[in-house]
Amino acid sequence: MEQVINKLKDPVLVSKFQEYFGVKKLENVDKNSKKFIVQNKFWYYLFVLGTALGDEVFYATFIPSWFWNVDGAVGRRVILVWAIVMYIGQGLKDIIKWPRPGPPVIQLQDKWSLEYGMPSTHAMVSISIPFSVLLYTMDRYEYPVMVGLFIAIFWSSVVCLSRLYLGMHSILDIIVGILLALALMIPLVPLVDQLDHSLLTDQKSPIILLTVSILMIVYYPSGDKWTPTRGDTTMMVGVCVGAQIGAWMNYQLGQMSHPELTPPYTIMWPSYSKLGQAVFRTALGFVTIALTKIITKWLTYSTLCTVLRVNADNLKKSANTLENKHKTFVDLSYKYLACLAIGFNTLYTLPIAFRYFGIERPTFYTEI
């Protein structure tokens, strides 16, 4: 078993994978020059797109768009599964502390180089999002389940292979990430399905969600060096909590009602006018989200830096280290509050605006 594990950790295997798909290392170049050449642009762009499916930009576009244009009941369940799975995966990285693959692997992107590699949370999210969408929609809508299964498998495959192509993970990182996500989803999918009703109806839900999420961030496992993992995890938790509280507000204020029909539902493709409304909703929503992030960051830094008696501009420019306690506290507070506000606006404030402008999705408030 130990020999198998060591073999799967071997960076030479990743290097060979890169060579097979057209990434060639350049020899005898100075440190400021490009160290590799991409010989096949198709694989490069496919895998860059694949790795983006597990990145912040994807979350910031996919999650709101799903709520505004597809199905809120499925969306609430999916983001709860996603947040729990990712929290566990991110935390394990800073507990296990295995570095990412070294030479002869070529790291095509430096964005994730500061993080540890085991397990691959890209692999975990490539399982948790598409497969939870599949599981929560297969009995809710009438569509070819095998087509959905194919899309989920293709999605997961591209994301996982992209991490090898970019030199970010060993094969063992990917395998463990996949198996861990699958193991977690076995109890989580039915549990979250039941938990969703309680989160909507229980009057104490916001207090419970806020308390648990803050404790999760405060007691997040700390490694022996600063990495962006804790901050990224804070944003995921914040979005999830904000969305759940937004949905809770809709229900408690009587804006939500049970649908007249029972599932499974027929998928109705939008007319041109409905498609135009969807584009308008999405554009207005993204502008609001961007403004929410900007305003929350300014307010958080201004307020907390005043309380801590430190200069906000200097704090923003200061180095990210475990010893820089003020920077860590303010930055985590900003990320949590900004993403909580984004999640809340996505589920509560923006749907009210959509109704005011006459561009709301008709079934939004019936998805319980």
Q: Residue 5: is its pLDDT beyond 90?
A: no
pLDDT at 313: 81
User: Quick check: 222 pLDDT over 80?
Assistant: no
* DSSP class per residue in 165-231: HTT---HHHHHHHHHHHHHHHHHHHHHHHHHHHHHHH-TTHHHHHHHHHHHHHHTPPP-SS--THHH
Is a pLDDT exceeding 80 seen at residue 282? yes
Q: Please say if 326 is a catalytic residue.
A: no
Q: Name, in order, each residue with C-beta under 8 angstroms of 310's C-beta and a sequence gap of 6 or more.
A: 326
Catalytic, out of 169, 197, 258, 326: 169
- The pLDDT value recorded for residue 137 is 94
Per residue in 301-325, pLDDT (tens digit) is: 888 888 888 887 888 888 877 878 8
pLDDT over threshold 90, residue 125: yes
**pLDDT of res. 32:** 58
- Strands 23-25 vs 36-38: parallel, antiparallel or unpaired: antiparallel
> What are the boundaries of each domain within the chain?
2-366
- Count of Cβ atoms closer than 10 Å to residue 244 Cβ: 26
Residue 35 has pLDDT above 80, yes or no: no
Ordered DSSP codes for 306-333? HHHT--HHHHHHS---TT-HHHHHHHHH
Residue 261 has pLDDT above 70, yes or no: yes
> Residue 98 pLDDT more than 90?
no
Question: Is residue 122 annotated as part of the catalytic site, yes or no?
Answer: yes
| pLDDT value at residue 89 | 93
Q: What is the C-alpha to C-alpha distance for residues 148 and 130, in angstroms, rounded to an integer?
A: 9
Q: Is the pLDDT of residue 28 over 70?
A: no
Whether this prediction's pTM lies above 0.85 is answered by: yes
What pLDDT is stored for residue 214 in this prediction? 94
Mind listing the pLDDT tens digit for each residue in 163-206? 999 888 889 999 999 999 999 999 999 999 999 999 999 999 99
Predicted confidence (pLDDT) at residue 65 exceeds the cutoff of 70: yes
Out of 122, 197, 258, 326, pick the active-site residue.
122
Question: Dihedrals φ, ψ of 267, to 5°?
Answer: -75, 120
Tens-digit pLDDT profile for residues 201-212: 999 999 999 999
Q: To the nearest whole number, what is the mean pLDDT of the chain?
A: 88
Lowest mean pLDDT among 29-38, 101-110, 219-228: 29-38
